[in-house]
A = this chain, B = another copy of it.
């Protein structure tokens, strides 16, 4: 069921070395354009893979995406207005349908046939809206990663969003290498034992999966508080899945071998990370934390939001600092000369 992407050939062979902030963006991939509630009848603009896109909904509620640049005089179409399903440019009133076809040019008696704006494949999988910035012929909607837990009555999800000055490669590295938990997130997801937990890497198609097991160890706050198991030794199983350049999912399981009466022995937390590059140095980031216990407990909701935002803010800060360090080094094209030194006599 997982969506898989295949590079024509291993990436490193093409450009040499490891992936980093200068690694090319991957266009033929579904990325999250926004949450369902972010896209409405009020046109918004967002930048995806270097391209500004105007996002809105048609009268029947379907999301639509066209390039945020009128082909006439480059006016940003998101500053225009909707007339039914027609997007009207705010400068000279040129009109476009959701496919990007020009429907009318007010100052001309005929409709120009080649003054169209590029549209993008877009599809809703509530609570997410996905966009395809690559070759439209390859935009197969069955490749959209499935996230059934975000819509299931068995789970309760909370979420949030960031825009950060980082690159998608560093973001994925951060999500895959959980040995940073005890150091960057000591107050939420990290415990001292976690850095040394057993780890196993495997591949399912093109999905890279890292399994970690930490047995008989008290859980960190983000799992301990909602389960009521703070301080109690439990088993913690984590399955971190690199699904595509646009998505990472972590399935965490807390197993209590001696549950109190009436309490479950297993608690599941599915953490969904959605990563959409604006450019090589800036990314949209949405996160969801879905749990299968205390579904109706609003205090647990509030705790999960607070603890998650604390941990992800720590990640965001770290990733932004790192890009600053890397960019400073690159920009330091300083000329300098060496000089012999001697002592005054």
Task: List chain A positions with a Cβ less than 8 A from chain B.
Answer: 1-8, 11, 14, 22, 24-29, 47, 49-52, 68-69, 73-76, 79, 88-93, 106-107, 134-135, 138, 140, 142-143, 173, 177, 179-180, 182-184, 195-196, 204-207, 279-280, 318, 321-322, 324-326, 328-329, 332, 334-345
Distance in angstroms from A120 CB to nearest chain B CB is: 15
In the complex, the chain B residue whose C-beta lies closest to that of A336 is: B25
Given the complex of chains A and B, what is the CA–CA distance between A339 and B160 in angstroms? Answer: 30
In the complex, the chain B residue whose C-beta lies closest to that of A332 is: B50
- A91-B184, A336-B24 as given contacts; A75 in contact with B344, CB under 8 Å: no
Could you say which residues of chain B place their CB within 8 Å of the CB of A142? 343
Distance in angstroms from A135 CB to nearest chain B CB is: 7
Given the complex of chains A and B, what is the CA–CA distance between A166 and B140 in angstroms? Answer: 41
Distance in angstroms from A341 CB to nearest chain B CB is: 5
Given the complex of chains A and B, what is the CA–CA distance between A74 and B68 in angstroms? Answer: 36
Most buried by B among A79, A134, A183: A183
- A140-B341, A143-B343 as given contacts; A75 in contact with B321, CB under 8 Å: yes
Distance in angstroms from A180 CB to nearest chain B CB is: 5
B344 A205 Cβ-Cβ under 8 A: yes
- A76-B321, A90-B318, A106-B196 as given contacts; A5 in contact with B336, CB under 8 Å: no
Could you say which residues of chain B place their CB within 8 Å of the CB of A7? 339-340
A177 B92 Cβ-Cβ under 8 A: yes
A325 B75 Cβ-Cβ under 8 A: yes
In the complex, the chain B residue whose C-beta lies closest to that of A334 is: B50
Could you say which residues of chain B place their CB within 8 Å of the CB of A328? 47, 52
Distance in angstroms from A288 CB to nearest chain B CB is: 22
Given the complex of chains A and B, what is the CA–CA distance between A28 and B79 in angstroms? Answer: 37
B52 A325 Cβ-Cβ under 8 A: yes
Given the complex of chains A and B, what is the CA–CA distance between A328 and B1 in angstroms? Answer: 38
In the complex, the chain B residue whose C-beta lies closest to that of A11 is: B337
A180 B342 Cβ-Cβ under 8 A: no
Given A69-B329, A75-B318, A91-B180, 7 more A-B residue pairs with CB atoms under 8 Å apart are A1-B344, A4-B343, A7-B339, A29-B339, A106-B179, A107-B179, A279-B334
B195 A345 Cβ-Cβ under 8 A: no
Could you say which residues of chain B place their CB within 8 Å of the CB of A279? 332, 334
- A5-B339, A106-B195 as given contacts; A344 in contact with B52, CB under 8 Å: no
- By Cβ-Cβ distance, the 4 closest A-B pairs, closest first, are A50-B332, A50-B334, A107-B179, A24-B335
B335 A25 Cβ-Cβ under 8 A: yes
Given the complex of chains A and B, what is the CA–CA distance between A345 and B205 in angstroms? Answer: 8
Can you sample 11 A-B contacts with CB below 8 Å? A4-B341, A11-B337, A29-B341, A50-B332, A50-B334, A68-B325, A73-B173, A90-B183, A91-B183, A91-B184, A93-B182
Could you say which residues of chain B place their CB within 8 Å of the CB of A25? 334-337
Given the complex of chains A and B, what is the CA–CA distance between A55 and B332 in angstroms? Answer: 20
A336 B26 Cβ-Cβ under 8 A: yes
- A279-B332, A343-B3 as given contacts; A79 in contact with B321, CB under 8 Å: yes
Distance in angstroms from A44 CB to nearest chain B CB is: 14
